[in-house]
Amino acid sequence: MDDQRQKQILTAARALFFERGLRATTMEAISEAAGIAKPTLYARYKDKNAVFQAVVVSVLDELRALMDAEFSKPGSTEDRLTAALVAKYSAVFDMLQSPHAAQMMEDKGIYAGHAFEMLNTDVARRIERMTAEADYDNPSALTRLILSCASGIQKHARTRTDLAHDLKTVVHALLTTWKYH
C-alpha cells in the first residue's frame, strides 16, 4: 500500500476514533471516510483493532518527532527539556479532549500498551542523558521527579495554556534547585 493511501486511512480512522470512539467505529465507516473500498482496507488491516494499533503508532511517532525536534534545538537544558515536555503533553492534552479519550486510553493498553511504554522509556532515557550531560547530581532521580510532575500536571490541567505554564514552572524550579556534581 502506498504512503498516500496509508496516510488517508490513518487520518480518517483517527478522526473517527476521536469522534465516535473505538467501539462505535466500524471498518465500513473508516473505508468511507478514507475514500477507499472496504476490500482495500481489509487487504491492509484484518480488523479495526489493527487499524487502531496503527493509529496509535502514528500518534506516538508524531509525539516522538515533536519531542525530538525540541530536544535537538540549540539552547539550555532547561529550555530544551521544557519545550519537549510542553510539546508532548500539549499534544496529549489535545487528544484527551475527545469524549472517547478515556475509553481509548483504556483500550490502548490492550492494543498498543507496549508502544506507549517504549515512548515513555525513550523520553526518560533522553531526559536522564540530558541532565547527566548538564552535570546534574543523580540524573535518574531527577528524571523520575520531572516525569512524575509532568504526568500529574497533564492529568489536572484545565487548559493547554495552564499546562504549558505549569510545566515550565516545575522544570525551572527543579532544575534551578537540584544539585550539580
Residue with cell 476521536: 18
As given in the structure block, the three cell numbers for residue 21 are 470512539
Count H helices, E strands: the chain?
Answer: 8, 0
pLDDT band at residue 146 under the 50/70/90 scheme = very high
Q: From the centroid of its chain, how far is CA 106?
A: 15
Length of the chain: 181
Give me the pLDDT at residue 141, please: 96
Instruction: Please tell me the pTM assigned to this model.
Output: 0.82
Range name among 42-56, 86-100, 140-154 with the lowest pLDDT average: 86-100
Compute the radius of gyration of the chain from its Cα atoms. 19
| CA dihedral for 177, 127, 165, 97, sign (positive or negative) | negative
Residue 89, judged by CB atoms within 10 A of its CB (0-12, 13-18, 19+), counts as buried
Contact 26, 48 (CB under 8 A): yes
The string of pLDDT tens digits covering residues 61-114 is 888 999 999 999 999 999 999 999 999 999 888 877 777 666 666 655 555 667
Cα–Cα dist 110/142, whole Å: 30
All structural domains of the chain with their residue ranges: 53-177
Give me the pLDDT at residue 178, please: 94
* Phi, psi dihedral angles at 35 (to 5 degrees): 75, 35
pLDDT band at residue 3 under the 50/70/90 scheme = confident
- Could you tell me which residues are beta bridge partners of residue 180? 136
Mean pLDDT of 145-162: 94
* Phi, psi dihedral angles at 99 (to 5 degrees): -65, -10
CATH code of the domain occupying 53-177: 1.10.357.10
